[in-house]
A and B are shown apart, each in its own frame.
Chain A
Amino acid sequence: DIQMTQSPSSLSASVGDRVTITCRASQSISSYLNWYQQKPGKAPNLLIYAASSLQSGVPSRFSGSGSGTDFTLTISSLQPEDFATYYCQQTYSTPWTFGQGTKVEIK
């Protein structure tokens, strides 16, 4: 199975900050990488697919980059509604695996 490792596991940031979350795959997954946002008690919500494509309806402050084994999710200017947990997911091969999550908290 492909292991996905996110860093950091949690971070504290202020509204307006630029936030970067990293996801590393245990082997090359090309661009088969998605990012999801999850708020407490809610289902995950797709943000980015194919490493860098913004899902329809998602604010443009979210962006994704990377290929191979190293990927990044960036929030250019953190908004109050962005405080949540973020997960990366590889769909290169089954079982599709998720990172352990990065919790973004208010500083």
Chain B
Amino acid sequence: QVQLVQSGAEVKKPGASVKVSCRAAGYTFTRYHMHWVRQAPGQGLEWMGIINPSGGSTSYAQKFQGRLTMTRDTSTSTVYMELSSLRSEDTAVYYCARVIEEDYSGRYYYYMDVWGKGTTVTVSS
């Protein structure tokens, strides 16, 4: 069935980088954009950015510009999210999510229909 399998929990020191993977299974990897969303402990959901697995193009939220890199490997149907210069405020659960684009008479609606289980990243000295 359709699923997104994320890598395991990470513990990093401030200033380090973390790279989280998300492997897609059960569907054609290059047909759907992938987004990343994070959730700090006890907080709400925060959209980070998007990658198009077909061509590799990306778009990031302004607050992560310069620190965030999303890449993909079509041979393994895997997308990666790398966040650098980590600080304590980056402690969160990081989710990948597949996005459906649906055409309603020429208007395109988007929604996240499948999510990974999340990867906990802890930043602590």
Contact = CB atoms under 8 A, between A and B. Distances in A.
Interface in B49-66: 50, 59, 61-62
Contact of A50 (B104, B116, B118): B104
Contact of B59 (A55, A89, A94): A94
Interface in B80-108: 95, 97, 100, 102, 104, 107
Interface of B: 35, 37, 44-47, 50, 59, 61-62, 95, 97, 100, 102, 104, 107, 109-113, 115-118
Given A43-B95, A95-B62, A31 B109 contact: yes
B112 A34 contact: yes
A27 B45 CA distance: 20
B44 A87 contact: yes
Query: What 10 A-B pairs come out closest when comparing CB atoms?
Result: A49-B111, A43-B115, A91-B110, A50-B109, A95-B61, A98-B45, A96-B47, A34-B111, A101-B44, A100-B44
Interface in A65-107: 87, 89, 91, 94-101
Given A49-B102, A55-B111, 20 more contacts: A32-B109, A32-B110, A36-B45, A38-B45, A43-B117, A44-B37, A46-B113, A49-B100, A49-B109, A87-B44, A89-B47, A94-B50, A94-B61, A95-B62, A96-B47, A97-B47, A98-B45, A98-B47, A99-B44, A101-B44
